[in-house]
Structure 1
Amino acid sequence: MVRILDKKTVQPLSRFNLSRSFIIPRSPKKVRLASITLRIPSINAQPNRVELVATVGVKGITGIAQILFRVFRDGREIFNTQQGIESAGSEQNYAVTFQAIDRNLSSGNHVYTVTAENQTANTRADVVGPISFSGLAVQTRS
């Protein structure tokens, strides 16, 4: 049996929009894309898991940028993935979607944040939207 403990979603950008775009900085700098706070109750919440899903619209500007997306819980990295973003030819706009799973959280509030950083020198990629980030906390057994 699965019991929902909490669910949060945020959508800082709801669509592709060049006028609201911003540069993904070169590592080690990063940009915070979205944050949510999930609450794990203190009673009958173990074992549990949090399912996180993020979508980020990205446009390649110069070169082939390697964008590192990271997910943090309470300031500690728990997940990362990397996506190559081309800037010429047919591949310039991307909707990058990824999922992360966090297990057996202690009770209380937990802040999840998704960030992006460009790992490749002399390239540029911009966030152009949409951006969405959601989390679902569930108890995995009764």
Structure 2
Amino acid sequence: MARVIDYNAKQPRRRFNLSRATTIPHSPTRLRLARIRLNTGSSSNMSRNRVELIGTVGVRGVTGISQLLFRIFRNGTEIFNTRQGVESAGSERNYTVTFQAIDRNVSGTHTYTLTVENLTSGTTAQVVGPVSFSGLSIRRSRTTSS
């Protein structure tokens, strides 16, 4: 059993929209997609506290095959990353990428930031929506495993 400590969510883009497309910069420059703040509880219960983070980002390949790097930071320190290849030709141009990260053994109030960057030079990809980022801070009971 778990107890909810805090919840926060941002949805800067609600739907797919080509007219609001934002080009994803090439590494090492990043595009900040969303930021949330969460209270994660006290340090006395730190070993039982965790934050579950979920990001969803709609992207589109424009030229070439881009490798996109999505990162989640806690207070400026990277805690999670994942990659997604995005094609620009044929039927595979639009993608909705969803991922989940778990930040364990945390206490206090933290800022979580979701970013994206393009790792492949000579290619272009864009954020076209939707974009959402949510976090749920929970404390597990003593009888719950993992």
Q: Quick check: which one's helix share is greater?
A: 2
CA contact 2:40–2:50 (8 Å) conserved in 1: no
- 2:135 — aligned with what? 135
CA distance in structure 1 between the partners assigned to 2:101 and 2:40 by the alignment: 17
User: Which ranges in structure 1 are unaligned for 5 or more consecutive residues?
Assistant: none
CA distance in structure 2 between the partners assigned to 1:89 and 1:17 by the alignment: 19
After TM superposition, give the deviation of residue 40 of structure 1 in Å: 2.2
CA distance in structure 2 between the partners assigned to 1:58 and 1:91 by the alignment: 11
CA contact 1:85–1:94 (8 Å) conserved in 2: yes
CA distance in structure 2 between the partners assigned to 1:98 and 1:140 by the alignment: 22
Aligned length: 141
After TM superposition, give the deviation of residue 43 of structure 1 in Å: 7.4
- 1:97 — aligned with what? 98
- 2:85 — aligned with what? 84
- Read off the aligned partner of 2:95 and give its amino acid letter: Y
Which aligned segments of 4 or more residues in structure 1 are displaced greater than 3 angstroms? 43-46
After TM superposition, give the deviation of residue 41 of structure 1 in Å: 3.0
Matches within 5 A, 1:52-67: 52-67=53-68
Render the CA deviation track for 1:92-130: whole Å, top value 9, x for unaligned. 000000000000102x21000000000001000000000
Secondary structure class of the residue paired with 1:129: strand
Render the CA deviation track for 1:63-120: whole Å, top value 9, x for unaligned. 00000000000000000000000000110000000000000102x2100000000000
Identity across aligned pairs (percent)? 60
Larger deviation, residues 11-20 vs 44-53: 44-53
- Read off the aligned partner of 1:42 and give its amino acid letter: S
Secondary structure class of the residue paired with 1:102: strand
CA contact 1:22–1:128 (8 Å) conserved in 2: yes
- Read off the aligned partner of 1:69 and give its amino acid letter: F
Matches within 5 A, 1:1-142: 1-42=1-42, 45-46=45-46, 47-106=48-107, 108-142=108-142
- Read off the aligned partner of 1:87 and give its amino acid letter: S
CA distance in structure 1 between the partners assigned to 2:8 and 2:53 by the alignment: 10
Render the CA deviation track for 1:5-46: whole Å, top value 9, x for unaligned. 000010000000111110000000010000000012337643
Q: With structure 1 as the length reference, what TM-score do the two structures score?
A: 0.96
CA contact 1:5–1:45 (8 Å) conserved in 2: no
Q: CA RMSD in A?
A: 1.2
